Amino acid sequence: MILEIWQPRYKDNTVLLAQYKVDACKEDEIDIRFTKAKHLEGIKFFIKKSEAQKFPMCDNGRINCYEVPFNMLEVRDE
């Protein structure tokens, strides 16, 4: 599964992952692509579903999200 995210939340260097998308993911790893952060475009990140689900939840104003620290994302070497 690929989650497209505009950009990290820069004030605390956190990535908000939609809870319903993470929980519905059937694969063990979730691929993450940033679409509006020019310096991150083209870099393929991933996190294990079980790891993402360990982080606290927040409301981004519309949906519940897991608050994943940016440094917990791994770069996919391809």
Supply the range of the domain harboring residue 21: 2-75
Q: How far apart are CA 76 and CA 23, in angstroms?
A: 21
Query: Which amino acid, one-letter code, is at 74?
Result: E
* pLDDT tens digits in sequence order for the chain, 78 residues long: 899 999 999 999 999 999 999 999 999 999 999 999 999 988 999 999 999 999 999 999 999 999 999 999 999 986
3-class DSSP assignment, residue 29: strand
Q: How far apart are CA 12 and CA 10, in angstroms?
A: 5
Q: Which two tokens stand for residue 74?
A: 């791994």
40 and 15 Cβ atoms separated by less than 8 Å = no
Task: State the pLDDT at residue 54.
Answer: 97
pTM above the 0.85 mark? yes
User: How many domains are contained in the chain?
Assistant: 1
